[in-house]
Amino acid sequence: MARTLITVPQDAKRGDVIEIRVLIAHPMETGYRVASDGKQVPRDILRRFTCRLDGEVVFAAALFPAISSNPYLAFPLRVERSGTLSFAWEGDGGFMQTETATLNVA
């Protein structure tokens, strides 16, 4: 399991636009590098990030080899109700990680 840091503001009111921040530990190996033994290092990147609120997709992003390791994403979200946010990262080699966070809207 990769380490993640997820920041969801807890003082949001109905209709507010909040900023959600996610950070995940991942090498984002481009596949273009050559190791000291002369062999190409196989590509190992995250391909897709999806954020869902109670199952409904509210934000998604495609990631590419040019994105640096330990990718950080911040995105705005207009919140109308409380719920459970789920964050999913999918990557090469069957990488799949899902984390959840509670969204409290006053």
77 lies in the binding site for other proteins (CB under 8 A): no
Q: Where are the beta strands (DSSP E) in 1-106?
A: 4-7, 17-24, 46-53, 56-62, 72-78, 83-91, 96-103
**Rounded Cα–Cα distance for residues 10 and 13 (Å):** 9
Q: By rule CB under 8 A, what string of x and - marks binding of each residue 6-45 to other proteins? A: -x-------------x-xxx-xx-----------------
Give the number of residues in contact with other proteins, rule: CB under 8 A. 15
By the criterion CB under 8 A, which residues form the site for other proteins? 3-5, 7, 21, 23-25, 27-28, 68-70, 72, 74
